[in-house]
Amino acid sequence: MKKSILILIFCLFGVLSAFTDLSAQSLVQSYESNPVTKKFILLPVKTGAAKTWITVNVDGVFQHEFEIELAPENPDFYATLEVGQWKGKKLVLSAETVVPGSKWISLTKTSDEMSDESLVYKEELRPQFHFAPRRGWTNDPNGLVYYNGTYHLFFQHNPYGTSWGNMTWGHAVSTDLLHWNEMPDAVIPDKNGVVFSGSAVVDWKNTSGLQTKPIKDKTGKITNPPLVAFYTSTDANRGKGKSAQSMVYSVDEGKTWIKYPGNPVIPHIIGGNRDPKVFWFEDKQNPKNGHWTMALYMDGEDYALFSSKNLIQWEKICDIKNLGCSECPDMFELPVDGNKQKSRWVFWGGNGKYLIGNFDGKEFKVESGPFTTKYGGNDYAAQSYSDIPAKDGRRIQFSWMQGGEYPKMPFNQQFTSPRNLTLHTTPDGIRLFMEPIKEIKNLVISVPVTFSAGLKGLDKPIQVPNIKGELLDIEVQFELKAYTASDTNNLLKAEILGQKISYNLGNQLISLAGIKAPLAPVDNKIKLRLLVDRTSIELFANDGIIQIAKCFVNKDKEPANLTISGNKDLANVKIVAYQLKSVWKK
């Protein structure tokens, strides 16, 4: 009898335990807006909270899904979901798993403004003249295109959290590459998958036919060409899909984007094929042979070029190998030493390695390389602008400052400053140079600080007077005096906001925060340009033949003291320092 009672007790205990476990499990919950009346739904996010998948259904039809750290209470920030396109319809957001007792539904808001308007751009670690998204994660710059006075910047974006995921194309616009107005996300995931990196062009001749109501001027030029963007669709069905190349287009100057109904335009080929970079090849010998070209990462360290007459049907034309990197190709033509009659093509990869060669529209013939201009640090997946007017003539590039840290911020990661790329002849051959764009000078607050002195010794650093603030553009020139080239004890040093820079004349290596790059003196000089922001420093050496980007957090809130040191009588130093202003309205 006692044995039976014990068995009964154990059975009851098991049932109760199962019930307790069941009640502790997460619950499925839904938020409904019927009808939709506002442009945005603002979702509460708590960094570190349990992640859940949310599906978006409109009038009972699945639209897309995303993963989010829903705040059960006390959200860290609000994520923006654009719903204005569904005004008047029934919207249901279904959270797959929700912690019991979560208040996320009552915390969710509707608004005609994007999230956190009163707080955004005022955060403690917000970069002040480098782009970072309002909220959420970013990585690669995408779809860089200029049209009708506006620079469009698209970017890999997780709108719903500060870690990688939910890849969409964020969107921001600017008239000067510095002051950005962030728009709602332009390209969101669909049945083909999430939205990886790519590029954008202006289809000036409407070769695609996507502008169904073209307007022509007296010369026959189309005045309302479509903007067309290419990206990689991947990870459909939560990581089980294959990568393919898809297309969106805009017929209202980039305000709204329409997915091409025939996506993908290039089905999966091999491996992780991705990151399409599209440009127009103008055949100088026979303009009728002009066509669109796509550079595409294939697999391993292999790339390929494709050709199209209409941006829709593509055929492979050649392979490009031995670049020494993967992902994120770019390809462009530049004059050498400013001479347009002596140009070369540059093929660029994700980590900043590049080849120099010639391209006849069918084959890229490598002349030299691979080389690199960028060394380590926080710099990856750069892309350059298309369709910058010929009268401007610059090749302007952005890069992701990979791996920066922004603790407790509602955003994560930033971009480099925009840089201008040029080709120059050096004693070692033709090389790529990069320098900050001239528009940076428009941020200068007051007259520059100028200073010159002779070095007094490594143990006697010189503090440059009157340098203020945390936003700086500093030019440093060391004019070398008598020295023994092989002496590794010949050192030049500088330090700003705790970031240490050194140059060793013996091995001709420059270092920023331990990141080293080869650098030879030019005309017996070492020239440095430093762009210092609240969370980053960028170093450009000898007019940009070397560039190092480094993110940092000024944990001790050190003042902006610039110190210079080096072996006594090794060099004279000249400094011009500009204090810069923030690009954000306070």
Here the tokens at position 89 are 């319809």
Ramachandran sector of residue 369 (left: φ over 0; alpha: ψ -120 to 50; beta: rest)? left
User: C-alpha 309: how far from its chain's center?
Assistant: 29
Active site residue 235: no
Q: Contact 86/48 with Cβ under 8 angstroms? A: no
Show Cβ contacts of residue 204 under 8 Å, excluding neighbours closer than 6 positions. Answer: 221, 222, 225, 280
Show Cβ contacts of residue 450 under 8 Å, excluding neighbours closer than 6 positions. Answer: 574, 575, 576, 577
Instruction: Give the Cα separation of 44 and 37 in Å (integer).
Output: 19
Separation in Å, CA 575 to CA 47, 379, 456, 477, 555:
43, 26, 16, 6, 27
Amino acid symbol at 164: W
Structure letter (DSSP) for residue 410? S
Instruction: Give the Cα separation of 567 and 555 in Å (integer).
Output: 30
Token pair 């690009």 in the structure block, residue: 583
Cis peptide, bond prior to residue 184, ω within 30 of zero: no
Q: Which residues of 202-218 are buried (b: 16+ CB within 10 A; e: fewer)?
A: bbeebbbebbeeeeeee
Cis peptide, bond prior to residue 75, ω within 30 of zero: no
Token pair 């939910």 in the structure block, residue: 166
Q: Contact 341/317 with Cβ under 8 angstroms? A: no
Q: Contact 286/299 with Cβ under 8 angstroms? A: no
Q: Which helix (H) or strand (E) holds 550?
A: strand 546-551
Structure letter (DSSP) for residue 471? -
Q: Which of 116, 140, 387, 473 is catalytic?
A: 140
3-state secondary structure of 366: strand
Q: What is the CA radius of gyration of the chain?
A: 27
Cis peptide, bond prior to residue 287, ω within 30 of zero: no
Amino acid symbol at 64: H
- Nearest residue to 421 via CA among 439, 433, 405: 433
Instruction: Give the Cα separation of 74 and 103 in Å (integer).
Output: 9
Q: Which helix (H) or strand (E) holds 7?
A: helix 2-24
Cis peptide, bond prior to residue 35, ω within 30 of zero: yes
Instruction: Give the Cα separation of 1 and 474 in Å (integer).
Output: 90
Show Cβ contacts of residue 31 under 8 Å, excluding neighbours closer than 6 positions. Answer: 41, 92, 93, 95, 104, 105, 108
Q: Which residues are catalytic?
A: 140
